Amino acid sequence: MKFFIMTGFVLLFGAGQVRAHEVSLIEEEAVKENIVTPQGEPSEEVEDDPQDDDFQQMNDFIQQENEKLKSIKLLNLDLERADLELKKKEIEQKIAQLNKSEGTLSASSQENTTDLKTSRPIIKLLSIFESKTMKQAMLSIDGVNINVKEGQQMDEMVVKSINLQTVIVEYEDGQTQELRLL
């Protein structure tokens, strides 16, 4: 019986020491975390929970990613704007070239054509070929060289006659144009 009493006493005494040791460990942790002062009073400065730190880190990360996304979108917009400006400059250059070439074509067409509407093609007589059976002429129509025969119909005109020095072209509206060799 003494054995049981002694064992019970040791168990109670040991359990009390373990419990006292646990309480002292909890108090030390609380002091380290500034949750409770050594006197047992709560401190004014309470540190955030680890979950709150993780939440704050996630928010910071999301804000950084949003800033990166905004900067990428701005770069894309700048790139598109630069591309549009480049295309605009190319179109302006093409328009300038067309205006320049139109001016030279107008000047050269005045040499070889009579007064015609501006919607008609620019025609120049380059050469005339005549044999016993056939008459042909080489015309430049809007810069494209074409061999034509007398009586040949093209889009909006007919080659009426080919002579030694001239070719007469008649348009659909009945107007005629006489082309001469230079």
Q: Could you tell me if 93 and 121 lie in one domain?
A: no
Identify the CATH number of the domain in which residue 134 sits: 2.30.30.830
Q: Are both 34 and 71 inside the same structural domain?
A: no
15 and 26 housed in the same domain: yes
Which pLDDT score is estimated for 129?
A: 86
Consecutive sets of 10 residues in the chain, 182 residues long: mean pLDDT of each?
48 50 59 52 56 90 94 92 90 82 55 53 87 87 88 88 91 90 77
Give 148's contacts (C-beta < 8 A, 6+ positions apart).
136, 137, 138, 139, 154, 159, 162, 167
**Smallest Cα–Cα separation from 103: which of 124, 89, 122?**
122
Query: What pLDDT does 15 receive?
Result: 46
Cα Rg for the chain, rounded, in angstroms?
A: 51
Q: Are residues 70 and 39 in the same domain?
A: no
Q: How far is CA 129 from CA 126, 157, 179, in A?
A: 10, 20, 15
What pLDDT score does 34 carry?
53
Considering its fold, how many domains does the chain have in total? 3
Q: What are phi and psi of 148, to 5 degrees?
A: -125, 155
- If phi > 0 it is left, if psi is from -120 to 50 it is alpha, else beta; for residue 42 that is beta
Looking at residue 32, its pLDDT comes to 58
In terms of domains, do 11 and 61 share one? no
Structural domain of 134: 116-180
Do 120 and 174 belong to one domain?
yes
Q: Which of 112, 135, 158 is the last residue of a domain?
A: 112
Q: Is the pTM here over 0.75, yes or no? A: no
Measured CA to CA in angstroms, residue 105 lies from 6, 28, 113 at distances of: 126, 99, 11
* Residue 90 sits in the same domain as residue 56: yes
Instruction: Tell me what pLDDT residue 113 has.
Output: 47
Shared domain for 121 and 169, answered yes or no, is yes
79 shares a domain with 55? yes
Are residues 129 and 96 part of one domain? no
Residues 33 and 73: their CA atoms lie apart, in Å, by: 44
Count CB atoms within 10 A of the CB of residue 163. Answer: 14
